[in-house]
Amino acid sequence: MPDIQFTADTHFGDHRTINIHRRPFADVAAMDAALIAAWNAAVGLDDTIWHLGDVARRTADVPALLARLNGRKHLIRGNNDADATLAAAGWESVSAYAEIEVDGRALVLCHYPFRSWNGQHKGALNLHGHSHGKLKPLPRQFDVGVDARGFAPVTLAGLLG
């Protein structure tokens, strides 16, 4: 049975991210190779993956990059995602926000963390990126960005673990 996975803030091809967020990679090529390997090790060809924004620095790289990454890919737009990233071939869907259900659990997906969200007091979870693991979460709130998740996508079970 296919999994549903989540990630954010890959920032493929962006050397600034290595320095700003102290990523443990010698250069962009090493970072991108590690991110692609971790993604493909976690995500099967038939899995669904939600990328919660900030995909890559160069929009021209996005179509070829998506072709190398496993899974049926959905994008929630991040602040660094240009229109060309959204238009790239390889996305199943693109939006600024989504509410989905996984394993009977309501999930609110956005690039940005919320102070409150739909269903918050009824058990709904807020999954986000943007903060690169530096923001103290509220209850039922999870940063799914690669900096907070060992540079790999994560399942809901992995978050709740």
- Which pLDDT tens digit goes with each residue over 33-83? 999 999 999 999 999 999 999 999 999 999 999 999 999 999 999 999 999
pLDDT, average across residues 4-27: 97
- What CATH number is given to the structural domain containing 25? 3.60.21.10
DSSP secondary-structure letter at 44?
-
User: In the numeric block, which tokens belong to residue 99?
Assistant: 């509410």
In this prediction, residue 1 carries a pLDDT of: 84
pLDDT, average across residues 119-129: 98
d(CA 83, CA 144): 23
Residues 110, 101: contact at Cβ < 8 Å? no
pLDDT grade, residue 28 (50/70/90)? very high
Q: Could you tell me what percent of the chain has a pLDDT over 90?
A: 98
Which segments within the chain are labelled E, that is strand?
4-7, 48-51, 72-76, 91-95, 97-102, 105-110, 125-128, 141-143, 154-155
Name the residue range of residue 21's domain: 4-160
How many domains, the chain? 1
Q: Does residue 107 have a pLDDT over 90?
A: yes
In this prediction, residue 19 carries a pLDDT of: 93
pLDDT, average across residues 104-123: 97
